[in-house]
Each structure stands twice: as structure tokens, then as C-alpha cells.
Chain A
Amino acid sequence: MIAIAVVAALPWLITTSYWRGILVVCAMNVLLALSLNLVLGYTGQLNLGQSAFFGIGAYVSTILVKTYGWNFWLASLAAVGAAGLLGLALAAFAVRLRGHYLAIASLGFAVITYQVLVNWEKVTEGVRGIYGIVPPVRGTMALFYLVAGIAVVVYVLMDNVVRSPVGDTLRSIREDEVSAASLGVNGAIWKAFAFGSGAAIAGLAGCFYPGFVGTLVPDAFNIVESFTMMAMVIVGGMGTMIGPVIGAVVLTFLPELLRGFGESRLMIYGLALTLVVLFMPGGMVQAWLAVKAKFS
């Protein structure tokens, strides 16, 4: 509750247009990290194709609004549906594969989606891009409240799911799928559920992205973005609810704070990522718990 109050107060404390913009990006990243958390953190499935669903959400909603004159909210609903359905399609592959096969297959899906966005110029304008996209609400502050509000809702819903028996089922699949099967857990259905809902949430985040930037190009959805999302979940702390949120916040603000370093910025980013994975496997949540333990 306190957290919500703090988040709500943020745009009042941060008054420059630039940092408010970063807040919006942060809220979107939180949504994305949460979307991946269900699949990766709780079900233990390595999905490298999340950027594809982010892109699908962005393109479907934008095209429906711009080319067909749909209302933004209806278009977003359609986009979320599209992303979710495609997520289920990916799940159709996922259920037969494990570990690294899934990783590369999902990567392949991301590549294919990206190529479709680039080559299907009639519909997506390809690399030329779509311009002059207006956000659903005017003003950065309002946009932030909208996206952050949705993120909070998603968080609460997901939290409830995770605490319910569904969460245990997902965790059992992550730990040991074969044993879970022997207990009657139908891995296929649950993996599909995780993939589909994760994809839908990523698509939801995608609906707000083009309005914020104003222009939409396929390059924003290449595979590197998938890696960044994955990093947020892992650095924050996989398998926890608050972990991905922390990860998203840290990895949104870190590159901005490192701007002073200019060219070495990304190098430091890579180094930081490697070190965190090496020494803090549970991510920042684990570090925080360890610190708390020391002082109690």
C-alpha cells in the first residue's frame, strides 16, 4: 500500500519532462518483467521471444487505430488478444521442448516476428516506420499514471495467482517436470497458460509504447530487447513477485545514470549483469534478504 502511495507521488516529485518520460518507460518495463516472470520465474521455461509479443501489441493496436480508425481501447483489447493467441501458438511448440530447445525455438519465433514486421510493408510500413502516433491520454504524467496503474493491477492479479494452488503447480513444473507429471500435473496445459498470459501482458505493455515515442519502427523489437527483459527478471530475483519489479526499475534507471560515462556505458552494463549473475543468483531480492538477515 505504501508502495502504491510512493509510486503515485513520484510524478509530483520528479518534475522534468525527461525524468517523467523515464518513469513511463520504467512502468512499461515493470509490466514486461512481470509478463516474463510467470513463464520464466515461476514455470521455469526459457522464453527468449517476449520482445515479439511486445511488438505485436504495439503494431496491432497502432495499425487498428491509424489505418482502420478504431478506438484506442478496443484496438488495445484486440492487440492483447492477438498477442495472447500467438503466445498460445508458441506454447504449442513449448510443450514438446525443454530447456535449450525452447530457448532457441522462442528465439526463432522472435526473429520470425521481427522479419514479418520488417518485410510485410503493406501493413506495417516496414523499416520506414509509422509516424505521428498519439498517446491515449495527453501529458506524460497522465500516461505514467495509466501505465503504472495497469502495472499495479497486473501485479496484484499475478500475486494472487501465484499464491494460489496454481502457483504451486507452476513451481512444480519448474522444479521437476517429470515428477510433477507422475503426480498428475498436465505440464502442457499449464505451460500454455503461462506462455499465453505472459504474452498477453507483454502485448498490453506494447499498446502504450508507440504513443509514448510517437513513432513505431521494427527495430525496437529485436532480440536484444528479449535479453534485456530476461535480465530484469533475473537481476531482480527470479521466482519472486517483487524481484522483477526491482529488476525493471534498476535496469531502467541504471543506463540513464550511467550516461555520464558515455562510451563505456554499455560495457559497464554488461559487466554489471555478469557480476550479478555470478555472485547474486537470487538477484537483488536475495541480496536484500541476506542484508536483512545480517542485521536482525
Chain B
Amino acid sequence: MKPLLRTAIAALAAAVAFSSFAQDRVVRIGVLMPISGPGSYFGVMDKEGIELALEHFKNGVNGYKLQVQYEDSACSPLQATNTAKRILDQFKPHVVIGEECSDASLAIAPILNEAKVVQLNVGSVTMKLTESGYKYTFRIFPNAEQQSLPLAQVAYKTLNARTAVVLHEKTNAGNDNAEGFKKPFEAMGGKVLATIDFGRDVNDFTAIATRIASLGKVDVLPTFALEGQQVRLSQALAQAKVVKGGGGTAVQMGSIWLPYGYDQKAGEASQGYVRIVQFDPTEKRKVVQDFVSAFKAKYGADKVPTHINAHAYDAILLIAEAVRRGGHDSESIRDQFSKMKGFEVTTGTISFDAKGQTSDLSVVHFVETQKDLSWKALNWQ
């Protein structure tokens, strides 16, 4: 009896110890994104991507469960600062995905770095995020220069453009992208006839289109704004006979911001639009096709994922990969990230450079909108 009892107790003790040990095998992921206010445009799509990715890892990775907590940072530095502190206090995450808006991302970077928690950014373009020496900050989203420099080069060299009018929304992201185009374009000898900025609340672009029409011969129109405004802008430009889609000669150019459905919404005004894409739902790579079909299965057959969905999805893939390779807390995950080279995700392959910025842009390519509104991939890069 006694030896049996002793073994039983030992077994029980071992079981208890083991289960509590097993419960500790969780990787906590905080997500700071705009859930309320006008910025919730991003938050909604981020959440879709993340939830979809989490389904893949329902049973954990490498014995670790992935636990996610969402917090509303409302695209504002004050809110972001507060929620960052809150999540650090209450949830104690190992990794924080955040934020979308550059101001908010820059506000939380010092807080997260001081707390030695990894910051994984999936949506801000500001150069400052990776130029400020933050050791725990990583970004999978191409920064302003990475997006705009190719545009400038293609505009000057391939399209032979010598004049440009830059259009951008009046935000950190819009400004940085516009600067990222202007500097190299002018350095090569091009002339920027005007830089026209507009707030996110501007709806009617007829006056702007008229102004552009009065500027003389414009070769390219690099534009950096969200889809809703871009549609209205393109339509106005077509009406004013400025762009190819309306009978003019100017070529609209854009960065990875514009999602796949834009061309259908803008109609014939989008003809001839040249832009770089990073996430292309028609790409044949298995990762992309699996993502698209899973997305449609979960959210509806008529919904096509945008790059915001894709980047959020990739963030989870990346974290899971780091865990698979042995990361289980902030330090080890940080380690894995800095060593990450050539990991394939829907938006390309991830290799972080020394500053934490994704440096492999091999998937990024140019497309031109055809008459039937489909994309024609171009080999310009």
C-alpha cells in the first residue's frame, strides 16, 4: 500500500508540476491598432488578417500556444501611449504588433524598447521608426524610400517622364512618400510642377483636377492616398482629361497602398495606372493562393484581401516561425527576428536588415492597369 501511495502521490505531483509548466508555454502577442474612430479602417482589416492566421496555429507552435490581446490605440499618440502602458502592465506581452499610423508607432517605440518587448510594425512608412536605433523594433512594411524610389526611377528612366505633379494626403505617411519621390526624381533631372496635399476629409477633387489641367504638360502623377479618395481623384482627373483613362496623356502612379479592387471601383479612369504592388492576390505562389482561398472561405467569396489583411496575416506567420525556431520570450524572439532571412510570406520574403527593416523586396513589382481593368505585370525593377 505505502509504496503504491507514494508512487501515486509522486505521479500526481509530477502531473501538477507538468501541467502548470505546460500552462506557461504561451507566447503572448499584444496587438495595438485603431479600433475606434476614422482609423478603424485599418484596425478592422488587421484583425481579419490576424484572426485568419491564428486559425492555422490553433494547436500551438512548438508546444507553445499563441495568445493575442487587442487594444484600441485609435491612431493617436496619446491613446497609443496609454494602451501600450496598459498592455505592458496587464497582459505582459512578448511581442507587440503595432501601430498602423506613423505617429502612434513612433510614440510607442520608446516605451516598448525600454520595456524590452519586441515591436513588430506592419503598416507605418515613416523612416524614423527604423532610423532611430531601436533594437527591439522590426518592420515588415516597406518604408517611404523603399516605396517611392522605384517609382521615381521608373518614371524618369522607363516612362521618360520629365514633369510630375505629386498628390498626397496630409499625413505623416503621405508626406514621407511624397518626399521619397520628389528627392530622387529631381536629383535625376525631373521637375515637380506642384505638390498638392489634401486632408483625409476632402471629397471633391474637381477643383484639384482643374488646377492640374492648368499646369501644362504633366507626364506622371504619383499619388499617395487611401483608396476612397484615390477613386474620386482618378475620376476627377479623367473628367478633366488629364490622365490616360480620360483621354489625356498623364500617367498616374501609385504605391502599394492601393488594393486590388481599386480599378473596378474607379472604372475607366484607372486605365494606364502604373503602380508597384507587394501583395498581389492573383500571384501564383502557394502561400498567396492558400491565403486568398482561406480568406474567402472565412469572410465571403466576394471579398478579396487587401495588403492590410495580408501584412497582419504575415505578422502572425512571422511570429509563429520565430517560435518554431526556438523563440519563446521577448529576447529569444528578438534574436530570431534579427537572424530571419528569406522567410516566405504572402507579401514576399522577410529578411531583416541591421536596423530591423525588411530588406528583401523581390516580390515587389510593377503593374499597369489595362483597358479591361486587369493588371499586367511589368518587368521593371
Contacts and interface: CB of A to CB of B under 8 A. Distances in A.
A266 to B, nearest CB: 5
A18 B85 CA distance: 5
B88 A214 contact: no
Interface string B164-195: 00000011100100000000000000000000
Contacts of A100: none
A17 interface: yes
B106 A129 contact: yes
A262 interface: yes
Contacts of B36: 263, 265-266
A158 interface: no
Interface in B2-38: 35-37
Contacts of B111: 214
A220 B78 contact: yes
Contacts of B89: 16-19
A178 B217 CA distance: 63
B304 interface: no
B175 A22 contact: no
A131 to B, nearest CB: 6
Given A128-B172, A213-B81, A220-B77, A18 B103 contact: no
Contact of B76 (A17, A19, A220, A265): A220
B80 to A, nearest CB: 9
A276 interface: no
B45 interface: no
Contacts of B35: 262-263
A21 B77 contact: no
Nearest to B107: A215
Interface in A177-234: 212-217, 219-220
Interface string B71-91: 110001110011001101110
B110 interface: yes
Given A214-B110, A219-B76, A220-B76, A21 B172 contact: no
A25 interface: yes
6 contacts: A18-B82, A126-B175, A127-B172, A128-B172, A215-B107, A217-B77
A84 B158 CA distance: 57
B85 A21 contact: yes
A127 B104 CA distance: 12
B128 interface: yes
A213 B77 contact: yes
B283 to A, nearest CB: 33
Contact of A214 (B72, B86, B107): B107
A126 B178 CA distance: 15
A118 interface: yes
Contact of B107 (A17, A18, A213): A213
A98 interface: no
A27 B130 CA distance: 34
Interface in A22-68: 22, 25
A17 B78 contact: no
A215 B89 CA distance: 21
A204 B7 CA distance: 71
Given A213-B107, A220-B78, A263-B35, A128 B175 contact: yes
A228 B111 CA distance: 27
Interface in A243-296: 259, 262-263, 265-266
Given A17-B89, A129-B172, A22 B77 contact: no
Given A220-B78, A262-B35, A215 B103 contact: yes
Given A25-B82, A266-B36, 18 more contacts: A16-B85, A18-B82, A18-B85, A18-B89, A118-B170, A129-B103, A129-B106, A129-B172, A132-B110, A214-B107, A215-B103, A216-B77, A217-B76, A217-B77, A262-B35, A262-B70, A262-B72, A263-B36
A215 to B, nearest CB: 5
B73 to A, nearest CB: 12
Contacts of A259: 71-72
A212 B77 CA distance: 11
Contacts of A129: 77, 103, 106, 172
Contacts of A22: 82
Contacts of A215: 77, 103, 106-107
Nearest to A265: B36
A25 B107 CA distance: 16
B81 A21 contact: yes
B303 to A, nearest CB: 20
A259 B86 CA distance: 11
B347 to A, nearest CB: 26
A290 to B, nearest CB: 34
A138 to B, nearest CB: 13
B297 to A, nearest CB: 24
A266 B103 CA distance: 22
B352 to A, nearest CB: 23
Contact of B171 (A16, A127, A214, A262): A127
A259 B71 CA distance: 9
Interface string B100-115: 0001001100110000
A259 B36 CA distance: 11
Nearest to A259: B72
A210 to B, nearest CB: 10
A18 B77 contact: no
A215 B79 CA distance: 12
A216 B171 CA distance: 14
Contacts of A263: 35-36
Contacts of A118: 170
Contact of B86 (A18, A126, A213, A266): A18
